[in-house]
Amino acid sequence: MARALITMPKTAKRGEIVEIRTLIAHPMETGYRAGDDGQLVPRDLIRRFSCRYDGELVFSAELFPAVAANPYITFCTLATASGTLQFSWEGDRGFSQTENVVLTVT
């Protein structure tokens, strides 16, 4: 399991726009870089990130080699109802990680 950080408020008022910041530990190896032995280091990327709010997809992103190591992505969402936000990252070599954060809407 890679270390993932999600920074967002725990509570929000209904209709408020919540800013979510996400960071995950991953090398994002581009496949263009040569290693110490002169051979190209094989590509190892996170390809997709998504955020589901109570099961409904509210944000997704496709990542390419030009995204820096340890992908950091921020976005916003509208606080509609109390629920769980599910963040998932998918990538090469079967990389898959999911994190859940509960948001209480008052």
Partner 1 sequence: MSVTRRTLLSAGAAIGTLLVVRPSYAEAGDLPSAIKAFTNGAPVQRGRVKLDIAPLVENGNTVPITVHVTSPMSATDHVLAITVLNEKNPQRDVITCRLGPRSGRADISARIRLATSQQLVAIAQMSDGSFWSDTVDVIVTLAACIETP
Residues of the shown chain interacting with partner 1 in the complex, contacts defined by CB under 8 A: 17-19, 30, 32-33, 53, 56-78, 80
Instruction: State how far the Cα of 71 lies from the Cα of 24, in Å rounded to an integer.
Output: 6
**Residue 65 · residue 30 · CB < 8 Å:** yes
Least distance CB 90 / partner 1 (angstroms): 15
Residue 58 or 99 with smaller CB distance to partner 1: 58
* In the block, residue with structure tokens 């070599």: 93
Which is nearer to partner 1, 70 or 82 (by Cβ)? 70
- Count other Cβ atoms within 10 Å, centred on residue 72: 12
Q: Torsions phi, psi of 29, nearest 5?
A: -65, 125
> What is the closest distance, in whole angstroms, from the C-beta atom of residue 68 to partner 1 in the complex?
4
Q: Minimum distance from CB of 58 to partner 1 (Å)?
A: 5
